[in-house]
Homo-oligomer: A and B are copies of this chain.
Amino acid sequence: MSNSVSSNTYFVGIDGGGSKCLARLESLEGDYLGAGLGGPANPLHGLERAQNSILVSVGNALEDAGLEKEDFSNVVAGVALAGVNLPSLYDIMMAWEHPFKAMYLTTDLHAACLGAHRGGDGAVIVVGTGSCGYSTINDETLTVGAHGFMLGDKGSGAWIGLEAVKAILLADDQLGQQTLLTKVICDKLECKPLDLIELLSKAASSDFAKLAPAVFECVERGDELATEIIQSGAHYIESLARKLLVNKPPRLSMIGGISPLLVEWFKEDLIEQILPPLDQPEQGALYFARAEFDKQNQSVAVG
């Protein structure tokens, strides 16, 4: 039967995101065999492309391990994707006629959390292009934030960039405080303040997130408005952390490119409770796949 465990069974953990897809291949015993990269894998932005990116990343990981690139039939895949918290999208992805021995699907947040705590319970806060918090404790999960760029994601890189552009335009109308952000961001984009409207009319969250470093630069140079933006964002992420801590997770980690820049604005008692992530999200996806695969095979053995 297809679910039987043989010595040539491999496990792969896949962390699929909006810009890339990372696969980590391990042996049945847990030895690292190889890694592979694929393209964007957010099923919300295209199901077929996401599935293709997953196959490319696993193919590359198999090749990296010196194995047959196209031979997916011995591979048990743990796939972590954004968006599959939506039941409709979860069902569509699960209906995929994938070529793997078995596939287990979970959210990117769940995999990030499992990775951060080496497969154990805990909580994570992700502040990169977007922002959110997540915890899993005794099989109970909690998601806070994750509202998306336009409706929330406060404190995130995209939110910071957007707030900076809003502040520049208000200052340009002389209806808001003058700010160093105008010079720093307009120099960076080689434009005048009003050009920002056309330039950013079709900008994605990732485009706004690219402006975040300029805002932190202005904070360092003492700009009041830039400092207010970062403080307000940090305040929200702090409240999100305290919300997660109510359930007493064994560990709390922060990941994502903006996280280390915000932590210094937190109160001391909170900073002390933030522990470094132990493993990467693709390793979290591997922990998930192994646990699910074991459960299924145990029940088969018992049955």
Name A's B-contacting residues (CB within 8 A). Answer: 44, 86, 144-148, 150-152, 162, 165-166, 169-170, 173-175, 196-198, 200-201, 236, 239-240, 243
Contact = CB atoms under 8 A, between A and B. Distances in A.
Given A150-B200, A151-B196, 15 more contacts: A44-B201, A86-B198, A144-B175, A146-B197, A147-B169, A147-B197, A151-B165, A151-B166, A151-B169, A151-B197, A152-B166, A152-B169, A152-B170, A175-B236, A175-B239
A24 to B, nearest CB: 30
A103 to B, nearest CB: 24
A172 to B, nearest CB: 9
Nearest to A142: B173
A133 B146 CA distance: 35
A96 to B, nearest CB: 20
B197 A173 contact: no
A185 to B, nearest CB: 12
Contacts of A240: 173, 175
A241 to B, nearest CB: 11
Nearest to A195: B86
A240 B176 CA distance: 11
13 contacts: A86-B198, A144-B173, A145-B173, A147-B166, A147-B169, A150-B162, A151-B165, A151-B196, A151-B197, A151-B200, A152-B169, A173-B240, A174-B243
Given A173-B145, A174-B243, A150 B150 contact: yes
A173 B152 CA distance: 12
Contacts of A200: 150-151
A31 B235 CA distance: 62
Contacts of A175: 144, 236, 239-240, 243
Nearest to A83: B198
A173 B175 CA distance: 33
A243 B197 contact: no
A247 to B, nearest CB: 12
A162 B147 CA distance: 12
Contacts of A236: 175
Contacts of A239: 175
